Amino acid sequence: MQQHFSLQVKEFWQAQLLNVASPTQIPMAKRSHLRQENVDYVIQELTLESITTSALQSLVETSELDFKTLLLGAWALLLSRYNTFQNVIFGATYELDKVLPVKVQVASDESLVVWLKNLQREWLALEPYKNVSLKQIKQWSSWVESVPLFDSCLVFEDANWSASLDCSLILNVDGTRWRSLKLYYDDRKFDKNAIARLLGHLQTLLEGMAANPQQRFERFTPFNGNRKASITR
């Protein structure tokens, strides 16, 4: 049976993807890679230090945030710093079996914690618009059918997601054991050293968020020194 959506739902997703023509990508990718179906993912894992997870737990409790928001924020920051974009787009599981495109504005003169609170409000505001397929969102936004809506995705629960996600990178975290972050990647597009650097940059951001949540948002960076050298070395 064909599902019917309200004009409000259609207009929401059209606005979300307005002026966005392609997914935000990771510049570490091999240039020769051609997208193929049925990716056999390789896994690398990042285990955060207990002092970092304790500080993040404290941030969650004192700021009325949640761990999903912290990961959404860290990933958006990482994509933005890699590409020097103010708006980034990636996928995320809103519910166990529902993946949605997430567009994040990564520009603010506020503190990190204020930016995260705004991000959390925007994330929760997706609730009325979640019951729609990625294919339908593409049609509404005039997205090229052969181009995926996102090149990376955050998966917050254990689920049978890999077969249905068309993306090169999948960051998976179980909400009950979130010290361990697993990054599934297409090794035809990324080599293991590039992925190790990416996880190191993500760790740097999370540690910075844990240590200095009141710091001005614009000062957070995953790089120690030169940006280009940090990405490509």
Quote the pLDDT of residue 115. Answer: 94
What tens digit of pLDDT does each residue of 43-73 get? 999 999 999 999 999 999 999 999 999 999 9
Label each residue of 133-185 as H, E or C. Answer: CHHHHHHHHCCCCCCCCCCEEEECCCCCCCCCCCCCEEEECCCCCCCEEEEEE
231/221 Cα distance (integer angstroms) = 12
- Higher pLDDT: 108 or 90? It is 90
105 CB-contact burial (10 Å; exposed 0-12 / middle 13-18 / buried 19+):
middle
What tens digit of pLDDT does each residue of 111-167 get? 999 999 999 999 999 999 999 999 899 999 888 888 889 999 999 876 556 556 778
Task: Tell me the average pLDDT across 192-218.
Answer: 92
CB atoms closer than 10 angstroms to residue 216: 14
CATH of 39-232, one of 1.10.8.60, 3.30.360.10, 3.10.105.10, 3.30.559.30: 3.30.559.30
At 177, the pLDDT band (50, 70, 90 cuts) reads low
Mean of all residue pLDDT scores within the chain: 85
At 34, the pLDDT band (50, 70, 90 cuts) reads low
87, 63, 67: which is closest to 77 by C-alpha? 87
Residue position matching structure tokens 């960051």: 171
Give 232's contacts (C-beta < 8 A, 6+ positions apart). Answer: 27, 28
- Give the three-class secondary structure for 95: strand
Quote the pLDDT of residue 122. Answer: 95
Quote the pLDDT of residue 19. Answer: 83
Within a 13 Å sphere around the CA of 59, how many CA atoms are in the beta-carbon half?
Answer: 26
Predicted structure pTM score: 0.90
What tens digit of pLDDT does each residue of 85-101 get? 889 999 999 877 789 99
At 229, the pLDDT band (50, 70, 90 cuts) reads very low
Q: Where are the domains of the chain?
A: 39-232
